[in-house]
Amino acid sequence: MRKVKKAAGILLALTLAASLVTGCGGSSSKAQEEKDTLTVAITGDPPTLDPHASSTSSSVNNLNPVYETLVRYDDDGEIKPLLATEWKRLDDLNWEFKLRDDVYFHNGEKMTANDVLYSFKRATGPDGAKVSYIMSAIDADNCKVVDDNTIIIATHEPFSPLVGYLPYIGAVVVSEKEFTEDPEKAAQNPVGTGPFKFVSWAKNDRCVYERNDEYWGDKPAYKNLVIRTIVEANSRVIELESGNIDIAFDIPANDVERLENNKDTAIVKRASTIVEYMVMNVTKKPLDDVRVRQAIDWALDENAILTAVWRGNAQYSPTTVAPSMKYFDDSDTDCRYDVEKAKALLAEAGVSDLHLKLTCAENTNRLNEATIIQDMLAQVGITVEIQSYEAGTFYDMVDAGETEIFLIGFGAVGFPEPDNNIYGPFNSKQIPTNNMGFYSDPEMDKMLEAQRNTSDGPEREQIIKDIQKYLRVNLPVIPVANTEQVLGIRSNVKGFVPTPAGSHFFQNVHFENAEQ
């Protein structure tokens, strides 16, 4: 009897405690409700929500919840069907794709091959300048709609790796109706076929999405998705630790151990296709002299930069093709560092008392990197002034050719094809859209076109490796680091797998202990 009374007393105490919590506004139903919203923090605001007008990671990650492509890379890097069910190559220039017949846009319109054709025409036209270095391989004028669920995609030249390019943001399928009726609205209020519907965009703050309950595929386990722009890395970490966000991009190296040791947070890592490098605007004297560019290269101790800035979360990459990508040239991977050689090259070029402005977007790692570069270049007589700007302003300056040397990260956002890491940055036709150093070299252009027109295999591999060797000599950019993606998550976040190409998807995420 005594045990029964004791149990009853405990039950009464628990009931009273629960009622007190409820009275303070902290009910368990509210806790469950909070778990129906996934909040992600990224490092910059998207310049646009038009998928054909930007290929920056901020735009891509804000558009992934809404738009879809014909195919997608899975977690193991293998191509899988998405909006397309099957495909085959008909001849050197034509590919046939069969489409799903159960896909609807968020406006209720059924997706057909006409939407795919319209999307590719727009991506390869004037509206697609920012994605043209990938999408220009497609000959949209000769693409043909066979029926509602079949399209033939044509290319200008034989282009064997076509399917590997189609997970790219520029190849998403948009609603023809939305963009023809009100293109300005469509560019700011995306309407796609994906697992989330776009709700709102508060610039420099957040994009908000809601679950697409009519989605053709597996529906997300939670109702709401919020992608916040938090530029300052320390602020992202604090918000993660406090539970205000669930996933945080780009965790600084000095915060990794603390988050790993916190029972409420965890770290997720994956090798990336992104290479951090310093671009030199070759239209600015004396940077048009290859000896000056080589001198700057020899003055930089990239291994020291890696240790100080990334602290084990990056590796040296001698070229813009990341070591994890196919056709990486591993024949010359040593970091070049020789202060006396750098001085000799400057003297040979007749350059002394050189002053340069080093520009970067507001980013903790890049500002730290810039400070170290400033000190290293001072050792060879180059005075560097560091300038940092909000991301939008920074890229406007780059496009306008107003910068001298600047730091960026560039890589295959959405797919791990090496062409992305060399064609856009170095083909003269991509000035200034993606070739931000205004580098024009007929020999480079020839090699870049040749690798695109060659089937995957030993011949194409050799061309791409020759390109990497050529870049190490001519140095339009100086690669510093192939970064490892380091993201922070709350411990109750499950099912999130980052992609190597930094183009992340959140529909498979669920919360531990939440109802599935």
Complete domains list, the chain, with CATH: 33-65+193-263+490-515 (3.40.190.10), 77-172 (3.90.76.10), 272-482 (3.10.105.10)
CB-neighbour burial class of residue 353 (10 A; exposed 0-12, middle 13-18, buried 19+): exposed
Start-to-end Cα distance in the chain: 41
DSSP count for the chain of H helices, then E strands: 18, 19
Least confident of 374-383, 406-415, 464-473: 406-415
Provide the percentage of residues in the chain whose pLDDT is more than 70: 92
The DSSP secondary structure of 261-282, one letter per residue, reads H-TTEEEEEEEEEEEEEEEE-T
Query: Is residue 207 helix, strand or coil?
Result: strand
- 16-20, 45-49, 65-69, 412-416 — most confident range: 65-69
CA distance 394 to 46: 13
Query: What pLDDT is stored for residue 415 in this prediction?
Result: 65
The DSSP secondary structure of 290-349, one letter per residue, reads HHHHHHHHHH--HHHHIIIIITTSEE--SSSS-TTSTT---S--PPP--HHHHHHHHHHT
Pairing of strands 382-389, 206-211: unpaired
Polymer length of the chain: 516
Query: What pLDDT is stored for residue 322 in this prediction?
Result: 92
**pLDDT reading at 45 higher than 80:** yes
Find the helix or strand (DSSP H, E) in which 461 lies: helix 458-474
Query: What pLDDT is stored for residue 14 in this prediction?
Result: 36
CA distance 84 to 149: 9
- CA of 46: how far to CAs of 43, 158, 279, in Å? 10, 34, 22
Query: What pLDDT is stored for residue 272 in this prediction?
Result: 86
Return the residue matching tokens 């790219």: 168
**pLDDT reading at 34 higher than 70:** no
Query: What pLDDT is stored for residue 176 in this prediction?
Result: 98
CA distance 198 to 194: 10
For residues 436 and 430, the answer to whether their CB atoms sit within 8 Å is: no
- Answer whether the bond into residue 425 is a cis peptide, omega within 30°: no
The per-residue pLDDT of the chain, averaged, comes to 90
**pLDDT reading at 9 higher than 70:** no
pLDDT tens digits, residue range 324-344?
888 999 999 999 999 999 999
pLDDT tens digits, residue range 135-160?
888 999 999 999 999 999 999 988 87
**pLDDT reading at 3 higher than 60:** no
Provide the percentage of residues in the chain whose pLDDT is more than 90: 74
**pLDDT reading at 17 higher than 50:** no
CB-based contacts of 3: which residues, under 8 Å, 6+ apart? none
Closest CA to 84 of 112, 63, 124, 105: 112
